Amino acid sequence: MDLGISGKKAIVCAASKGLGKGCATALAKEGVQVTICARNEQLLATTAQEIEQISGNKVLYVVADITTETGRDSLLQACPDPDILVNNAGGPPPGDFHDWRQKEWFDALNANMFSAIEMIRRTIDTMTNRGFGRILNITSSTVKAPIAELGLSNGARCGLTGFIAGLARQHVKQNVTVNNLLPGFFDTDRGRAIVAKQAQERNIDIKLYQQQFLANLCAGRMGTIEEFGATCAFLCSHYAGYISGQNILIDGGLYPGTF
Ligand code: NAD
């Protein structure tokens, strides 16, 4: 299926690996001109090259910390008026809320709420004027089903979700949609690290714990970045102009609610 976005320009934040990379790859395969960022140049350059090989399209990369003003400036200098914006950043560390003070909370809010809002603020008006825009925020299934030790993530991402709920309805008339993608457990460094931490805390051998953990997932496995990227590409497509303000769970059926 041709998604009708060939030639559009996209920024995918935090995309040298994991879910961001999955999104960037799927968009590039659709003929989108993708600009990716991350903080580590070596991995970022390798990833850009890899996506170019897979998609046959040129991929720009910018070494930038998306949680800083300087990082966002550099990224927007390289791609000043994207048609598509995929917001993403590293997730906050798991832990016990007794240990989190102002710094930990402000860091989480900055990375997983403010940075996305700021990228949207700086790009949405051009999208609106042009009559096409697709904005996706990578949040987490913990927005719907919190995991206690991921309290910083639960809190910061719910803040972003609340803000997006208000914003998303305001621009659909101009064909600009804003949605959130909520990953469950994905086979990425972050996904694997969370499982390893749980094993460590329970004092169980990591391999054994991983086996039990996967068996307990409805799908019996973690999701792949290709599956995540394909959903992203569809929501950025010409055909997704009537979907806005949604929180789309991609969790292999893990969320137990009816709705
Ligand atoms: P990952 O660790 O595999 O990849 C993270 C990517 O973000 C890397 O490319 C890294 O270089 C980049 N990055 C991190 N901090 C950055 C910064 N400040 N500026 C620029 N780039 C930065 O992680 P992932 O699994 O792809 O997760 C992506 C997001 O989704 C995270 O916020 C994570 O918490 C969230 N999430 C992941 C899962 C999962 O199962 N993988 C589940 C729920 C939520």
Beta bridge partners of 9: 33
Nearest CA to ligand 1 atom 7: 14
Q: How far is the CA of 243 from the centre of ligand 1 (A)?
A: 25
Q: How far is the CA of 174 from the centre of ligand 1 (A)?
A: 30
Q: What is the pLDDT of residues 157-179, one digit of tens each?
A: 999 999 999 999 999 999 999 99
Check if 191 has its Cβ closer than 6 Å to any atom of ligand 1. Answer: yes
What pTM did the predictor assign? 0.98
Mean pLDDT of the chain: 97
Percent of the chain with pLDDT over 90: 98
Asked whether 38 and 65 are in contact (CB, 8 A), the reply is no
Phi and psi angles of residue 49, each rounded to the nearest 5 degrees, phi first: -65, -45
Q: What is the pLDDT of residues 207-217, one digit of tens each?
A: 999 999 999 99
Check if 90 has its Cβ closer than 6 Å to any atom of ligand 1. Answer: yes
Task: Give the separation between CA 171 and CA 185, rounded to whole angstroms.
Answer: 31
Q: Which amino acid would we find at residue 28?
A: A
Check if 140 has its Cβ closer than 6 Å to any atom of ligand 1. Answer: yes
Among 13, 61, 57, smallest CA distance to 32 is for 57
Q: How far is the CA of 88 from the centre of ligand 1 (A)?
A: 7
Count CB-CB contacts under 10 A for residue 20: 29
Q: Read off the pLDDT of each residue in 140-156 and give the average, rounded to a whole number.
A: 96
Q: How far is the CA of 190 from the centre of ligand 1 (A)?
A: 6
H or E segment at 102?
helix 102-109
